[in-house]
Amino acid sequence: MNTIEKRIDTDYIKAFKERNAEVKMLLSTVKGEMQTYKKNIMVETLSDDEAIKILDKFSKNLKETIQITNDEKCKRELSIIEDYLPRQLTESEINEKIDEAITNGAKNFGEVMKMISKFPLDKKIASELVKSKF
């Protein structure tokens, strides 16, 4: 099985060979962050869930930068990072998951968030949608 970490390594080598400096620099930064994480938890390879957490952090930072500066380079970098992340649920899909959680016994904000947080979704959007239900 091809893990996210292996895909990033492969794409980094490809960008290096193609002399694509922008992709190479971004993936180099991501690889460095992954390497630091691996050293901190003392493992050889990352699980996809751990890699997704790191990529989510990059994605969140880039989205915040784009909101402030509307920088085209950040938009391109975000597009590259999102290629490695699982598809996020849409607002309507998040609403469906919230409704399911409520019908399955979730009685407050915390319980609903706990039940839906296992899905690939933007937690900020999910939080706003859950707040609107209570």
Q: Could you tell me what percent of the chain has a pLDDT over 90?
A: 62
Residue 1's pLDDT is 40
Calculate the alpha carbon distances from 90 to 75, 96, 122 in Å.
Answer: 20, 10, 9
Could you state, in order of their start, the residue ranges of all structural domains in the chain?
4-82, 91-133
Fold of the domain built from segment(s) 4-82: Hypothetical Protein Yqey; Chain: A; domain1 (1.10.1510)
Instruction: Give the separation between CA 121 and CA 128, rounded to whole angstroms.
Output: 12
For range 18-46, the mean pLDDT: 94
For range 108-134, the mean pLDDT: 88
Q: Quick one: which of 101, 18, 3 has its CA closest to 52? A: 3
Residue 49's pLDDT is 87
Give 61-92 pLDDT, tens digit per residue: 999 999 999 899 999 999 999 999 988 889 99
Residue 2's pLDDT is 59
Radius of gyration of the chain (CA): 17
Q: What 3-state DSSP class applies to 131? A: helix
